[in-house]
A and B are shown apart, each in its own frame.
Chain A
């Protein structure tokens, strides 16, 4: 670590325009500032802020980490940002009010939840053709695609459902009712389980992918925090199957869950109204976006401690971290 720092300092003193290795960077969408903040994961400081379309919420990296896809909700488009220049180079026809999306492992099929229209739009990002529009419940929000590419799952916030979309036929094969206002879904690395958060229900639901049945519901109780403030949204799972991190919204805490026993191990205090979470590719660091306090909390995954908060723009929403090894 020290050597790396010295080397970085050395590069800086030499005035090299590009470092010898690519940096790991975090991108944070600021919903009310219409910008993306760029955080250097080595120094944990904001190194740049660049403008995008109106009301950016969900963001995604292309598999090679060269592009950032941004749901510009109020512009009714998905924007494509070239991360080398940090300029919007293209827009995709996303349908109205895109909020969250997920990219199929083929790198081409983008599944977009159109919140106002009760639709999921499937878009080919290369040809920019809309491949399908699938009718789902009211206020589609969360989107997830399994790692094996078989399932796309959409949550509908007011219909309280998980819609299981077959990615070959683009048809819904199963609807599962879970807790109120489902927000976010995350597949385990082996695609055996799906984790789904229910914001108003205050719960996280574990679905067995093989049988498409719910096998467990996780409740959260934080001493001193009123139960109706516990509103789970973002979820991240470590790839070793050890931890799940669940953002609890206005409860201002991240729940650390044992991903095997589903037992809540700890609650970590972060900023106000914590929305989304992202793990660094080495899974040593977790970032959280705190909508109301306008900052990002940094969690050390080994120690399970909050080590820093970083000011970003107004109402930070989505967050994604590059590995820094791809470009």
Chain B
């Protein structure tokens, strides 16, 4: 049992029945209060013009998740004499972001969530060194988890490999094993498609056709003419699309040569989170989020939320705000996070990846939650998703 700081000014304040807002303004920086400070930094490069324009990622995707996690942590912390703060910035360039990071480090902020591309994350991780524990809430690249791990970088966003493994498991369960794969031409698209090819091999799928979409045509006019021709070929059960920036993928469903379902980055997609998830208490999280942000919670919001909630959980359990103590606890066997996906989440101690179920959803509904029954693992079924310990060259805790 952890000692409970019964006489914190906050619990007195609450016991007196004073309204919460007043309580939060009460003097918190007292000796028996832990002050936990977080940073949140975001820079995502412009992904260029896309043909589909209905569902752009909200500009504050990630930041709103971080803010909700702070308020969740505060609600818990007020009973335990723990207080949480967030300093955040959305930057316009990589240089600006790295400067903001250096400033946070100088201000002794030691817990920082980053929503940036992989190239920026590598630089940030070098700057951070051992001075701060960084959380990756924006980059899905496999290499960051496979061979370029940094001991002070944890990943709360799933890797491409986790997402495509979830999809491939499901296709195997449905016995839709012949795949027509269409990939876009950006690095992200190619990375996603490459991850899928590996997943297909892992889960006994057969990629019968593997094509890149390089057309320059305006799909809003020509989709019905171009795509049926493009998707001609040997018979397939399903079309898998790799189009991360949502350029052409939304035009594939209902325009295939054969009457087949479309999955991948469009159609039914695997991701960290989806607004349609409501089981496992998720309805409450979605409600809290919608009330705060006045929009739905995205996967990036979820990844940022999970990072700050994970630390909050570690602070509650260890009673400490020491970064090193928190890192060791997060990577240890005792850590588990209840995060509304039906199973406890924990960090893979070899590469710092948060192991988590992966929802498969189409725009308005949840279809399934991977991993699926029958895909066995000697430690946890969650490690059937993504690179397992023997496949990764990283050993963070050795």
Interface centre among B288, B344, B382 (most CB of A within 10 A): B344
Interface size band for B: 20 to 34
CB distance from A324 to the nearest CB of B (A): 35
B381 partner residues in chain A, CB cutoff 8 A: 226, 228
Which residue of A is nearest B355, CB measured?
A: A228
CB distance from A200 to the nearest CB of B (A): 4
B380 touches A226 (CB 8 A): yes
A160: which of B6, B11, B284, B338 is its contact (CB, 8 Å)?
A: B338
Interface size band for A: 35 or more
Residue A186 CB within 8 A of the other chain: no
B4: which of A137, A174, A201 is its contact (CB, 8 Å)?
A: A174
CB distance from A154 to the nearest CB of B (A): 12
A180 touches B80 (CB 8 A): no
Hey, what's the 0/1 contact readout for A203-223 against B, CB within 8 Å counting as 1? 000000000011000000000
Spot the interface stretch: B13-21, B119-127, B149-157.
B13-21
B72: which of A134, A138, A174, A200 is its contact (CB, 8 Å)?
A: A138
B343 partner residues in chain A, CB cutoff 8 A: 200, 228-229
Which residue of A is nearest B5, CB measured?
A: A175
Which residue of A is nearest B2, CB measured?
A: A177
A176 touches B4 (CB 8 A): yes
Residue B224 CB within 8 A of the other chain: no
B336 partner residues in chain A, CB cutoff 8 A: 180, 200-201
A159 touches B76 (CB 8 A): yes
B248 partner residues in chain A, CB cutoff 8 A: none
CB distance from B240 to the nearest CB of A (A): 28
Residue A190 CB within 8 A of the other chain: no
Measured CA separation A43–B380 after assembly (Å): 43
CB distance from B251 to the nearest CB of A (A): 36
B380 touches A159 (CB 8 A): no
Residue B70 CB within 8 A of the other chain: no
Residue B317 CB within 8 A of the other chain: yes
Measured CA separation A201–B381 after assembly (Å): 17
B344 touches A200 (CB 8 A): yes
Given A171-B17, A181-B338, A214-B1, verify A158-B344 contact (CB < 8 Å): no
Measured CA separation A137–B80 after assembly (Å): 11
Residue B180 CB within 8 A of the other chain: no
A177 partner residues in chain B, CB cutoff 8 A: 1-2, 4, 80, 316-317
Hey, what's the 0/1 contact readout for B48-86 against A, CB within 8 Å counting as 1? 000000000000000000000000100110011000000
Query: Which residues of chain B from 1 to 31 have any CB-CB distance to chain A below 8 Å in the complex?
Result: 1-2, 4, 6, 11, 14-15, 17, 20
Measured CA separation A202–B14 after assembly (Å): 30
Which residue of B is nearest A132, CB measured?
A: B17
Residue B287 CB within 8 A of the other chain: yes
Measured CA separation A159–B79 after assembly (Å): 9
Query: Which residues of chain A from 140 to 176 have any CB-CB distance to chain B below 8 Å in the complex?
Result: 156-161, 163, 170-176
Measured CA separation A228–B281 after assembly (Å): 16
Query: Which residues of chain B from 345 to 398 have any CB-CB distance to chain A below 8 Å in the complex?
Result: 380-382
A137 partner residues in chain B, CB cutoff 8 A: 75-76, 79
B2 partner residues in chain A, CB cutoff 8 A: 177
Query: Which residues of chain A from 87 to 141 have any CB-CB distance to chain B below 8 Å in the complex?
Result: 97, 115-116, 118, 132, 134-135, 137-139
Given A171-B15, A180-B337, verify A138-B75 contact (CB < 8 Å): yes
A116 partner residues in chain B, CB cutoff 8 A: 284, 287-288
Measured CA separation A213–B4 after assembly (Å): 11
B344 touches A201 (CB 8 A): yes
A176 partner residues in chain B, CB cutoff 8 A: 1, 4
A228 touches B382 (CB 8 A): yes
Given A115-B284, A172-B15, verify A160-B76 contact (CB < 8 Å): yes
Measured CA separation A173–B6 after assembly (Å): 8
A135 touches B14 (CB 8 A): yes
Measured CA separation A174–B317 after assembly (Å): 17
Given A228-B343, A228-B382, verify A172-B14 contact (CB < 8 Å): yes
Which residue of B is nearest A96, CB measured?
A: B287
Query: Which residues of chain B from 305 to 328 have any CB-CB distance to chain A below 8 Å in the complex?
Result: 313, 316-317
A158 touches B76 (CB 8 A): yes
A159 partner residues in chain B, CB cutoff 8 A: 75-76, 79
Measured CA separation A175–B76 after assembly (Å): 10
Measured CA separation A227–B337 after assembly (Å): 15
CB distance from B112 to the nearest CB of A (A): 23
Measured CA separation A176–B5 after assembly (Å): 10
A200 partner residues in chain B, CB cutoff 8 A: 336, 338, 343-344
Measured CA separation A327–B274 after assembly (Å): 49
A139 touches B1 (CB 8 A): no
A213 partner residues in chain B, CB cutoff 8 A: 1
Which residue of B is nearest A201, CB measured?
A: B336
B337 partner residues in chain A, CB cutoff 8 A: 180
A180: which of B17, B338, B382 is its contact (CB, 8 Å)?
A: B338
A163 partner residues in chain B, CB cutoff 8 A: 79
B4 partner residues in chain A, CB cutoff 8 A: 174-177
B287 partner residues in chain A, CB cutoff 8 A: 116
CB distance from B244 to the nearest CB of A (A): 30
A157 touches B338 (CB 8 A): yes
List A residues at the B interface (Cβ < 8 Å).
97, 115-116, 118, 132, 134-135, 137-139, 156-161, 163, 170-177, 180-181, 199-202, 213-214, 226-229, 250
26 A–B contact pairs at CB < 8 A? A115-B284, A116-B287, A118-B75, A135-B20, A138-B72, A139-B281, A159-B79, A160-B338, A161-B76, A171-B17, A173-B15, A174-B6, A175-B4, A176-B1, A177-B2, A177-B4, A180-B337, A180-B344, A181-B338, A200-B336, A200-B338, A200-B343, A200-B344, A228-B381, A229-B343, A250-B342
A171-B17, A199-B338, A202-B344 given. 14 additional CB < 8 A pairs?
A137-B76, A138-B72, A138-B75, A138-B76, A158-B72, A158-B338, A172-B14, A174-B6, A175-B11, A175-B80, A176-B1, A177-B2, A200-B338, A226-B381
